[in-house]
Amino acid sequence: MGNRANFVLVDDTGWRLYYDHWAANQICSVLVAGPEAATRFITAQLRRAPDEWLNDVWGEGGAVVDHRTRRLVFFGDDLMMDLPPKRAFLRLLPLTWPAGTSAGRTTAWATSPPTSAWTAPSSASPTTGPCRRSWSRTRRRTGRRT
């Protein structure tokens, strides 16, 4: 049992992978307070080697917090299954994840775990490699933004 999640932090030093056994059903709670609080939560989790991604069977939630490109990509949490709370949460995120003066922050919610993202090679960037492409495929498949 568990609600396994991978978290990726990207900053000027590169990217780091973290794991939590119970966080997949808390993704919204982790992210709602903004990038600084999310970063504190993520860095308190178990640090993993770059090749120790959860696969699409075990990965029930996750987030990429990219401080370099100011991008947030996430999936998971039971809250996102019900339309009214999902809409409210997605409207709240721009308030707690504010855009900078030079570039806005991009937020993306994936409807399901990307099938290839969790087995990304260690040289792939989580926001330009398989994670980003997988979200794009999800969006094209549904034909709409959520």
Residue written as tokens 């998971």? 76
pLDDT score of 8 more than 90? yes
15-25 per-position pLDDT tens digit: 999 999 999 99
- Separation of alpha carbons 108 and 73, rounded Å: 5
pTM for the structure as a whole: 0.71
Closest to 103 in 3D by CA, of 69, 72, 126: 69
Based on DSSP, count helices (H) and strands (E) in the chain, helices before strands.
4, 6
In the chain, what are the domain boundaries?
A: 5-142
Q: What angle do CA 110, 30, 127 make, to 5 degrees?
A: 45
Distance (Å, whole) CA 78 – CA 61:
10
User: Span 127-139, mean pLDDT?
Assistant: 38
In the predicted structure, residue 6 carries a pLDDT above the cut 90: yes
Residue 132 binned pLDDT confidence (cut-offs 50, 70, 90):
very low
How far is residue 64's CA from residue 143's CA, in Å, rounded to a whole number?
23
pLDDT at 86: 87
pLDDT tens, 62-121? 999 999 888 888 888 888 888 898 888 888 888 888 764 334 455 665 555 554 444 343
Per-residue tokens: 140:
């094209």
Write down the pLDDT at residue 92: 87
User: Above 50 in pLDDT, residue 145?
Assistant: no
* Least confident piece of the model among 11-25, 35-49, 52-66: 52-66
